[in-house]
Every structure is written in structure tokens, then in C-alpha cells.
Amino acid sequence: MRAIHIVPGDGTVQEVESMDLKDLQRFVGGFITVGIDIGKNTLYVDDEGLLKNPEYFQLWKAEKGVYVDKSIKFRCFAGNGIIVGTTKDGERTDCDLSVEWVAENVKFTDLESVQILSEQGVIA
């Protein structure tokens, strides 16, 4: 299935093919957990991302209104992420977001910036 891989370590956002749970785990670098739902898509991140001296990325609240919590300007995640489509039944399917859209809504950052923004209550 079509997926979008976010790699803060080298600052890339790229389209990839992901067939199963093992692929998702390989792309994030560990056990997966749901980061956030983005419309009909789900961002998965490494469940132990904070423990691995990670790089970070922020996902901005997009104009398409994809976040439920509109009080938060953006979300911050540690480690790699992968976005896949999700059906109404919770099954994984092709991601319907464009690589360009994701790249425009992702900002790569460092721990110090994350801590400052967290103290200011800007990120979740």
C-alpha cells in the first residue's frame, strides 16, 4: 500500500510501499503506536521514540481541518513516522495525502525547541 515516510534524521518526506505490520515497524524503527489520525489516514510513530535519542518532527494543523483538537497549533513526535490510509473498519489502505502536502505540514526540529514550545503550551 502507498504510505508516506517521515525521517527527521535526514529531513526527508517520501512515498514508500508498506505491505504489513513488519514494514511499518521497519520504517519507524521499532514497535508502532498511533501518533494521530489525519483525516482518513493515520500517522504511526515509534512507541519508544523518546528513548532512542531521537530527532523530532512537528506536524502543523493544516487548513484542511484534519485535527480534532483545534486548540493545539501542532503536534510533535520523536523519531520516524509513517502515514497510511485507514478505512472505516480500521484496516490499513493507501494513504490519500500527497507527499507535497505532508512536506508542507511537517517541520523538523530539535529537543531544545520542543522543550521551549512545550513550556509555552504550544504543542501537545
Residue 24 or residue 123, greater confidence: 24
Q: Which residues of 52-73 are buried (b: 16+ CB within 10 A; e: fewer)?
A: eebbbbbbebbeeebbeeeeee
How far, in whole angstroms, is CA 62 from its chain's centroid?
A: 13
Statement: residue 42 has pLDDT above 50:
yes
Q: How far apart are CA 18 and CA 13, in angstroms?
A: 15
Residues 6+ apart with CB under 8 A from 38: 59, 62, 66, 67, 83, 97
**15 phi/psi in degrees, rounded to 5:** -80, 140
Query: Angle 90-93-97 (CA atoms, 0-180°, nearest 5)?
Result: 110
Q: What is the reported pTM? A: 0.83
Tell me 65's DSSP state.
-
Amino acid at 23: D
pLDDT value, residue 123: 65
Strands 74-78 and 56-60: antiparallel
62-120 pLDDT tens trace = 444 444 444 445 678 889 999 999 999 989 999 999 999 899 888 888 887 777 777 77
